[in-house]
Homo-oligomer: A and B are copies of this chain.
Amino acid sequence: MGDISQIKALVFDVFGTVVDWRTSIIQELEAFGAQKGISADWAAFTDDWRALYQPSMEEVRAGRRPWTILDVLHRESLEKLLTKYGIDGLSEEEKDHINKVWHRLKPWPDSVPGLHRLKARYLIGTLSNGNIGLLAWMAKNAGLPWDVILGAEPARAYKPLPEAYLRTAKILGLRPEQMMLVAAHNDDLAAAAAQGYATAFVARPTEYGPHQTKDLKAEREWDVVTDSFLGLAEALGCP
Contacts and interface: CB of A to CB of B under 8 A. Distances in A.
Interface string A116-138: 00000001010000011100110
Contacts of A131: 171
A95 B139 CA distance: 36
A71 interface: yes
Nearest to A139: B147
A154 interface: yes
A232 interface: no
Interface string A40-76: 0000000000000000000000000000000100000
Contacts of A161: none
Nearest to A135: B148
Contacts of A153: 154, 171
Interface of A: 71, 123, 125, 131-133, 136-137, 139-140, 147-150, 153-154, 171-173
22 contacts: A123-B136, A123-B137, A123-B140, A125-B136, A131-B171, A132-B148, A132-B150, A132-B154, A132-B171, A132-B172, A133-B172, A133-B173, A136-B147, A136-B148, A136-B172, A137-B173, A139-B147, A139-B148, A140-B147, A149-B149, A153-B154, A153-B171
